[in-house]
Structure formats: structure tokens, C-alpha cells
Amino acid sequence: MLLEQHPGVGLDAVDAKFVGRGRGGYCFEHATIFAAALERLGYDVTRRLGRVGDPAAGTQQGRTHMTVEVRLDGRRLLCDPGFGMSLLRPAPLADGAESDQRGWPYRVRRNDTGGWELHRHREAGWELTHTTDELPVLPVDVVIGHHYTSTFPASHFRHGLMLTRHLPGQHVSLTGTTITVRRPGRATEHRELADGELLARVRELGAGLTPQEEQRLVDRLAGSAPSA
């Protein structure tokens, strides 16, 4: 989206990008291909939409996050492969259930509207990451959500780099100007990027950009500014 060349969130487009090019993407893409793979393997899969942010803090966003629910052996499981600091394994979808994600504690809670909240434990305590509801999700809902996040002038996906990856023992987040490294049980490291460091970090995290795309990324970040 940042380079204005997004192929869409249809399964064929996501398969070509993820499997064909070894690229990543955001929640609509991750959840789309993950749900399709699980269905091909015979799992009972339900697609869900939700909202990132905490309503109590005034940070809740539109219904533009996508997760996958799996029913297995009488249990409901939350699979969330496309969040910024995503789950590494399914989390039990039960009120109060806690899940250790390789050292990072997560908790699922029912909310007053009958949906589900996913909380993660940070240095300051529990943090609400997003809420998901139980309304049916049709393919057109995914297309509409993607259309909004990829074309709305003020969408942060259109103006800021957001590249994240789980690495052994750590999680790295990269923007156009900063790098953040989180390790379980340790203080978060956050700093400004040095001059000329951006592309080295993009390559290190395996973004898989061509040289032309790398140059367009640098040019886009240099001249991009969100509009109302």
C-alpha cells in the first residue's frame, strides 16, 4: 500500500505474493491465506473481524482487523497471524484464558458486547490490543476493509512504513525513522534509525523488495505526509 501497488486480498493475489515472492503483508492477507490453508487441511475455520485499540483510551479504530477462529476437539481457538506483534500459536478463546507465546503473556477476555478482547502484558501491565466480534464475515467484507485501509487518505498504512518480524528470542518493529526491539522479560529497546540504516534493516528483516521498490520506498517516505 505504501508503494501504491497492492494487488488486493483475493486468495490468488495473496498466494502469489506470499508463496510466490516470499513476501509478507498485513492482517487481511495473513488471515486469508492462513484460513485457506487450514480449510484445505480439514479444519473448522471461521473468519472474524475486529477493531484495533482500546475504547477506554480513545484509540479504538474501525472494523479493519482480521483474525481466524478454529474449532478443534470442542475448543475454540484464536489464531491471529497478521497483528503487528502477532500470536505465535493459537490462544484459547475462553474468558480469562492466558497463553504464553514464547515468553510473552497474552490473555483473552469476553467484553460487555459479547465479543472478545486480546490483551498482552507489557512493561506497564496488561494492554488491550484489539477486540473481535462474532458477526459473520463474507469475502466482500474483507475487500471493503482492505479498500478503506489501502485508499483512505489518512490511513497510516499509506504514509508510514510498518515492518515487523519475530526472530529467535525477540520481536523487531521497523518504521521509516525508528527501530524497536522487544525481548521477553527485558526492557524494550527503542531508538531513531541512523542515517542510511533504513534499507539495511529492511533487507535484514527479509522484506524481499526489488532494488526499484527499495528506491521507491525511500522516495515515498521522504515525501509522504498524511492528509485529512
Q: What is the pLDDT of residue 224?
A: 55
Which residue out of 6, 30, 79, 80 is catalytically annotated? 80
44 is catalytic: no
What pLDDT, on the 0 to 100 scale, is given for residue 5? 85
Going from the N-terminus, what domains does the chain have, and what CATH number goes with each?
A: 11-139 (3.30.2140.20), 159-223 (no CATH)
65 is catalytic: yes
Q: One of 27, 119, 130, 171 is an active-site residue; which one?
A: 27
At 86 the pLDDT is: 83
Cell 525513522, residue?
177
Q: Measured between alpha carbons, how far is 204 from 228 in angstroms, rounded to an integer? A: 34
Q: How far apart are CA 75 and CA 95, in angstroms?
A: 12
pLDDT lower than 70: segments of the chain: 224-228
- Exposed, middle or buried, 159 (CB in 10 Å: 0-12/13-18/19+)? middle
Q: 185-209 as b/e, with b when 16 or more CB fall inside 10 Å?
A: eeeeeeeeeeeeebeebbeebebeb
Nearest-CA neighbor of 10 among 128, 124, 18? 18
Task: Look up 166 and say whether it is catalytic.
Answer: no
Whole-structure pTM over 0.75, yes or no?
yes
Q: Which of 6, 30, 65, 130 is catalytic?
A: 65
With pLDDT > 90 as the criterion, what percentage of the chain qualifies? 76
